[in-house]
Chains A and B, each alone.
Chain A
Amino acid sequence: EAGVAQSPRYKIIEKRQSVAFWCNPISGHATLYWYQQILGQGPKLLIQFQNNGVVDDSQLPKDRFSAERLKGVDSTLKIQPAKLEDSAVYLCASSFARTSGVQQFFGPGTRLTVL
């Protein structure tokens, strides 16, 4: 079974530029999560989708971050314009269902460096 795919793996941009990350969850997984992991910290949820609807985006900086999940499968996370503090690893995860105890499967992440 293929895992969660993310691209690109690495991205370097200058502040005020825009960037987009792509995630393809495990086939059949209805729930998709984007986490931000700043160096030295644990991941923090940015947004959770159930199919193509948003469940929780309370920690998403909506003035610069946006996310969508077209057709309830792939998802894109965008930052525009980027700030220095956005340097982090962006992790995508998916789970089969919206059940709290169910396992979330993580992708390899995209490491973003903002100069």
Chain B
Amino acid sequence: AQTVTQSQPEMSVQEAETVTLSCTYDTSESDYYLFWYKQPPSRQMILVIRQEAYKQQNATENRFSVNFQKAAKSFSLKISDSQLGDAAMYFCAYVRAQGGSEKLVFGKGTKLTVNP
């Protein structure tokens, strides 16, 4: 079974600085997708960024970028120029590319605090 591990229960960053959230996963599949979701206190989960496993190029979305290391099964999220609105729970998630359901397998999350 696939598992996703987020080893940092909490992180903090100063406004305008950079922070990196860690995620590792375990799978025997070769083709899959990885996601980072943001869950603000209002609880509506929002997609931050998506990575396709067969693409070597790391995904970027404005201030958000990932460091995808397929061999190491590592998928970290870097937030540059942190803003107060970035404060939230961040979840790393995995989904297999083929076969069965399209269920997301989530890690336990990292709570990010942004200090002014």
Q: Which of the residues B47, B52, B91, B108 comes within 8 Å of A103, measured between beta carbons?
A: B47
Task: List which B59-116 residues lie within 8 A (CB) of chain A.
Answer: 91, 93, 95-98, 100-104, 106-109
The CA-CA distance from A102 to B101 in the complex, in Å, is 13
Residue of B nearest to A98 (CB): B102
- The tally of residues in A whose CB lies under 8 Å from a CB in B reads 29
Residue of B nearest to A104 (CB): B104
Q: Are B50 and A101 in contact (CB under 8 A)?
A: yes
0 or 1 for each of A73-104: is its CB under 8 Å from B? (1 = yes) = 00000000000000001010101001111111
Pick 20 A–B contacts, CB within 8 A, sort by A: A41-B108, A42-B107, A42-B108, A42-B109, A44-B106, A45-B101, A45-B104, A48-B102, A55-B101, A55-B102, A56-B100, A56-B103, A93-B45, A100-B32, A101-B95, A104-B47, A104-B104, A108-B42, A108-B43, A109-B44
Residues of B within 8 A of A (CB): 4, 32-33, 37, 42-47, 50, 52, 91, 93, 95-98, 100-104, 106-109
